[in-house]
């Protein structure tokens, strides 16, 4: 939003103008740190040179100490057709910063212009990039998690079930890094792309109108869990009217069956897209459960860091 002052006769009127942002994204956050192109020379598979063709990562570093040297890549949701960069992106990054954790907000490419495997390629590149520059960000390479909301939760679960150790012979040092997150945080996630619990719109924008059944199966994360899937925290609501809660239940069940450490919290009521639950007495406690889980696993310090300004990463 932008306010413009206009003088009409002897009066000054404040006119509020709404600025549209490509792909439904919010305006850039002036408090954020440096925004980096995932591929400075151009992203693989790019179909143009517009902003929507350039996946990025925005760095948020805590103002206080990062005692556990933890970082989290954040994937906002939006059904693979837009990105909720505010309440599922920058707000989450600040929340992590206030608890002494580094955060990296991912802007990944979207449908209908881009389909799989572009999105998972962007997520894997983000993980590799942060890991390659871990020392600069004050984090440990083996303390890097990923947190996704809704369709961003699907992207996160995909990153946790489709990963590799990197290419040690790659010319690009970033590509030498592994793409496996060390832990996953999934908030009301899309998990399955199969009926009857699929979020049909997400599947359409990720795979197109007539996807190959083998691709649908490969990207139904509950079917891809192994013992090597990262430890996972899940949050959802039973009466989510957009993404059925069974998405979370199926992924949790698969994790337990595979022997992967997992914790899930289901609330009876709460609309889809609730973010951190700010202002909602029923849901606002879920981030407290998450930070408790992170502390127990050594991914956050025992006490929260006092809130302070975000320290920009780079100039």
Share of residues in the chain with pLDDT > 70 (%): 86
What 3-state DSSP class applies to 71?
strand
Does the pLDDT value for residue 300 go beyond 80? yes
Q: Which of 144, 156, 145, 224 is nearest to 189 (CA)?
A: 156
- Alpha helix segments (H runs only) across the chain: 91-97, 118-132, 134-137, 151-161, 200-207, 213-218, 246-258, 286-296
Joined tokens for residue 5: 């002052």
Interval 234-255: pLDDT, tens: 999 999 999 999 999 999 999 9
What pTM was computed for the model?
Answer: 0.87
Residue 25 is given by DSSP the state P
Instruction: Answer with the residue of higher pLDDT: 140 or 304.
Output: 140
Average pLDDT of span 283-292: 97
Q: How many angstroms separate the CA atoms of 301 and 204, rounded? A: 40
Share of residues in the chain with pLDDT > 90 (%): 84
Contact status, residue 81 vs residue 110, Cβ threshold 8 Å:
yes
Q: How many angstroms separate the CA atoms of 155 and 75, rounded? A: 7
Q: How many angstroms separate the CA atoms of 89 and 104, rounded? A: 9
Does the pLDDT value for residue 24 go beyond 60? no
Residue 114 is given by DSSP the state -
- Residue 32 binned pLDDT confidence (cut-offs 50, 70, 90): low
Instruction: Answer with the residue of higher pLDDT: 23 or 51.
Output: 51
Q: Which of 145, 243, 241, 236 is nearest to 190 (CA)?
A: 243
Q: What is the mean pLDDT of the chain?
A: 89
Interval 145-187: pLDDT, tens: 999 999 999 999 999 999 999 999 999 999 999 999 999 999 9
Whole-number pLDDT of residue 11: 36
Whole-number pLDDT of residue 3: 37
Average pLDDT of span 209-215: 97
- Residue 217 binned pLDDT confidence (cut-offs 50, 70, 90): very high
Sign, CA torsion 77/80/84/89: positive
**Residue 35: its H or E element:** strand 35-37
Q: Which residues pair with 232 in a beta bridge?
A: 184, 262
- Residue 27 binned pLDDT confidence (cut-offs 50, 70, 90): very low
Q: How many angstroms separate the CA atoms of 283 and 303, rounded? A: 22
The string of DSSP letters for 276-290 reads T-TT-TTTTTHHHHH
Does the pLDDT value for residue 123 go beyond 70? yes
Whole-number pLDDT of residue 9: 37
Q: Which of 167, 183, 25 is nearest to 107 (CA)?
A: 25
Does the pLDDT value for residue 29 go beyond 90? no
Average pLDDT of span 77-103: 98
């Amino acid at each position: 939003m932008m306010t413009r002052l206009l003088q009409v006769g002897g009066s000054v009127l404040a006119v509020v103008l709404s600025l549209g942002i490509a792909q439904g994204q919010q305006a850039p956050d002036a408090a954020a740190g440096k925004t980096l192109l995932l591929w400075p020379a151009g992203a693989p598979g790019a179909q143009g040179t517009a902003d929507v063709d350039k996946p990025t990562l925005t760095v948020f570093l805590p103002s206080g100490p990062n005692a556990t040297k933890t970082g989290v890549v954040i994937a906002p949701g939006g059904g693979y057709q837009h990105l909720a960069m505010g309440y599922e992106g920058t707000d989450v990054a600040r929340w992590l910063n206030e608890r002494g954790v580094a955060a990296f907000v991912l802007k990944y490419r979207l449908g209908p212009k881009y389909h799989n495997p572009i999105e998972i390629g962007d997520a894997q590149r983000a993980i590799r990039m942060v890991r390659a520059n871990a020392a600069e960000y004050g984090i440990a390479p083996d303390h890097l998690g990923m947190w996704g909301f809704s369709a961003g939760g699907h992207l996160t679960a995909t990153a946790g079930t489709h990963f590799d150790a990197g290419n040690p012979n790659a010319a690009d040092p970033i590509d030498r890094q592994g793409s496996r997150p060390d832990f996953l945080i999934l908030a009301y996630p899309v998990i399955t792309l199969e009926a009857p619990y699929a979020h049909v719109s997400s599947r359409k924008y990720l795979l197109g109108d007539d996807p190959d059944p083998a691709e649908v199966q490969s990207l139904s994360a509950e079917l891809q869990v192994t013992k090597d899937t990262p430890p996972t925290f899940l949050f959802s609501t039973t009466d989510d009217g957009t993404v059925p809660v069974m998405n979370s239940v199926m992924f949790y069940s698969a994790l337990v069956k595979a022997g992967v450490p997992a914790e899930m919290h289901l609330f009876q009521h709460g609309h889809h897209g609730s973010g951190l639950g700010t202002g909602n007495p029923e849901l606002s406690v879920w981030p407290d459960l998450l930070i408790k889980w992170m502390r127990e696993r050594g991914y956050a310090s025992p006490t929260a860091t006092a809130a302070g300004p975000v320290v920009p990463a780079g100039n």
